[in-house]
Structure 1
């Protein structure tokens, strides 16, 4: 049977799985933007700065519709495995097991929300609009909470505190950007509407960068799956 191990000299490296969970969503949204722009469905711009299109709009029409769904669903599966394995990685590093109970649940529900959002994208109607909105809000918020919990757990592991603090600082940056959207929406709604899409791109990028950082830490810790034959 397969057993997960950290620090083993042999076995199947697992960091590539975390890398896929980090890069698949990031590459997909940029690829669908380029394809949508080439096909004339969205304007050419720097979406992070000019807020010319939402992430959703890049995957609604033309070839990008199929690219988005065809890539985001495997990305959600990679994310499910990523969050299922993270508590095992942390335990092997010496993290407190009692603090990890919510980690997988938050991550898994976030990935299921991504599936919901992906399946509803491109379909008209108030019901589908509600599903998209629910999916993206749950995905962003629960992924952030899972990342914050992971970062905090790593802060207490001897030899990994510095990396944990840096990951936590990245989480605080993500929270700052998210809180800025709340303040602007309340204080200057019309202005916020003009830059809302740019905030969405920035938050998605920060979440993916956190996952990419964790993937590199998996690699550094030699996190592997070891196959052992019972009996």
Structure 2
């Protein structure tokens, strides 16, 4: 039987470049689609991380950006699922006394955002329900996976510093999500002015978490190899 094993030695394929693509492709896709909408004047110019700007969904609904969004996000979700499976193999190699489910949870998160991506640009109650369910499921499961990864890394002296930084980032993500719920309840319709900025910020934080974790891959020289078992 052949198994994939993630190791920290000179054998196998380096994972750092793949990790960089996982972290940056979603950010590049969404920001590129926003710029395409600006250039085609389908959306008004604004700062997505500030008041009264457009949602991420709005960037992929029309024009050339409709195709760019799907063409970038669907491969990004496939890579994200692979990223979580590689993390699971790597953690099992170094923490053999634990059982991790982040491969499965991360794959479900990727499927959820793929459903969101495919339903984007289509009208009706069912596409709307698919989009809402997809994005909420993606955010929730991704946060759980990142929390498991950070908590596990913080237990080892070799990875403790990065693990604690990742926990801090996860705490910031959760705090922003809870703050947005509180503001939504207290501000009423006024919350709509900042809702999209919160959405962009949450996605940025989730991808920064990936970027910080793959920096650890680079520092430790994590590689993927095949072993017979």
Band the TM-score falls in, shorter-chain normalisation:
over 0.9
Name structure 2 gaps, 5 residues minimum.
Answer: none
The offset of 1:130, in angstroms, is 0.7
The answer to whether the Cα contact below 8 Å between 1:6 and 1:221 also exists between their aligned partners in 2 is no
Q: Give the match for residue 67 of structure 2.
A: 66
1:77 and 1:31 map into 2 onto residues whose CA distance is: 20
SS in 2 for 1:108: helix
Aligned residues: 228
Deviations 1:157-192 (A, max 9, x none): 122111111100000000011001110111111221
Q: Give the match for residue 20 of structure 1.
A: 21
Answer with 110-119 or 189-198: which moved more.
189-198
Q: Given the alignment of the two structures, is residue 155 of structure 1 paired with residue 162 of structure 2, yes or no?
A: no
Q: Give the match for residue 89 of structure 1.
A: 90
Name structure 1 gaps, 5 residues minimum.
Answer: none
- Give the CA RMSD over aligned residues: 1.6
The offset of 1:227, in angstroms, is 4.7
Deviations 1:26-81 (A, max 9, x none): 11000000001111111111110134100000010000000000010000100010
The offset of 1:2, in angstroms, is 6.3
**TM-score where L is the length of structure 1:** 0.93
1:227 and 1:44 map into 2 onto residues whose CA distance is: 49
The answer to whether the Cα contact below 8 Å between 2:162 and 2:213 also exists between their aligned partners in 1 is no
SS in 2 for 1:226: strand
2:49 and 2:151 map into 1 onto residues whose CA distance is: 28
Matches for 1:60-209 after TM superposition, within 5 Å: 60-94=61-95, 96-98=97-99, 100=100, 102-209=101-208
Matches for 1:2-17 after TM superposition, within 5 Å: 3-17=4-18
**TM-score where L is the length of structure 2:** 0.94
